[in-house]
Amino acid sequence: MSSKSKEQIGRIVLIAVLVLLSLIIIVPLLIMLLGSFKDSAEVTAFDLKLPKKWNFNNFPIVFKEGKLLRAFGNSMLITIISTSITIFVSSLASFVLARRNARLSRFLYYFFFIGTIIPMQIMPTIRLFSAINIYGGYSNIIILYSALNIPFSCFLYTGFIKGIPKVLDESAFIEGASTFKIYLYIILPLLKSCNITVLILLFTGIWNEINIPLYFLNNPLKRTMPLSVYQFFGMYGGSNWNYVFADLTLATLPIVILFIFMQKQFISGLTEGAVKG
């Protein structure tokens, strides 16, 4: 056998193996999707058989019972505001951290860096929010997500801004522009690709996270998507897995649709975060 055809066979075997592996990813998600159309008896087999009858009405029931619209709105509100705050204050701070090479700015850089590694202290933070009377609502969670995500975002922005030449800022400064004006009119427009990276990183991270809402939301009406999904599972996991699957499917849909339309940005965004960080 020539080495060419040997290579060809090797490639075919590799593709076959990868197809099988990709099924390992797809099958669990397919069980969820198919299960969401079944009735409560049929779903308990948890298999890949197509539903005997496609129960589309699982979705409106779950949508109402699971209060998904409200949860979606809550998640949107929390994610969008905390992401915006984080992007704004981090890029602002990073502009100075990237430009100054003084001892203080290097210290601040490493100081922020600590926040990317160590886990937060939960109960003292709750006490702090109680003391200033905002514990349990939207605002404490938005502030907290911002505080938790600023370190990593600063890290990314600082690295990115270091790659932008200083010449522009200096000429603007000579013409009398303040630091903020330089940031606003010169740096910010150049941050587009870094903003997309940080946006995707923070959006998926906050959207999917459950630990913080568990501790910091005490009003059932303010539940985020992952929290509402878990509570819904607690209510129906014993009796109606078709509803649970329908709920999971609906909760998965928004981010997966976003992912399908923005694959490139997602993959490069989530990984650039790691590589540059």
Rule CB under 8 A: which of 153-192 touch other proteins? 154, 169-170, 173, 178-180, 182-183
In degrees, to the nearest 5, what angle opens at C-alpha 152 toward C-alphas 147 and 157? 110
Stretch that binds other proteins, among 29-37, 50-58, 66-74, 189-197 (CB under 8 A): 29-37
> Which residues, including other chains, have CB under 8 Å from residue 198's CB and lie 6 or more apart?
86, 87, 90, 153, 156, 157, 273
> How many whole angstroms separate alpha carbon 191 and alpha carbon 203?
17
CB 196 to other proteins: min, Å:
15
Tell me the one-letter amino acid at 154.
Answer: C
Q: Which residues contact 115 (CB under 8 A, 6 or more apart)?
A: 148, 150, 151, 152
Q: Using an 8 Å Cβ cutoff, are 269 and 197 in contact?
A: yes
Site string for other proteins, 67-106 (x = CB under 8 A): ------------------x--xxx-xx-xxx-xx---xx-
d(CA 156, CA 194): 8
Q: Which residue has the tokens 């938790």?
A: 148
215 in contact with other proteins (CB under 8 A): yes
Does 131 sit near other proteins (CB under 8 A)?
Answer: no
Query: Of 47, 64, 162, 219, which one interacts with other proteins (CB under 8 A)?
Result: 47
Binder of other proteins out of 1, 20, 50, 118 (CB under 8 A):
118
Assess 128 for contact with other proteins (CB under 8 A).
yes
Using CB under 8 A, pick the residue from 56, 237, 239, 261 that binds other proteins.
Answer: 237
Nearer residue to other proteins within complex by CB, 55 or 98 = 98
Binder among 124, 163, 165, 189 for other proteins (CB under 8 A): 124
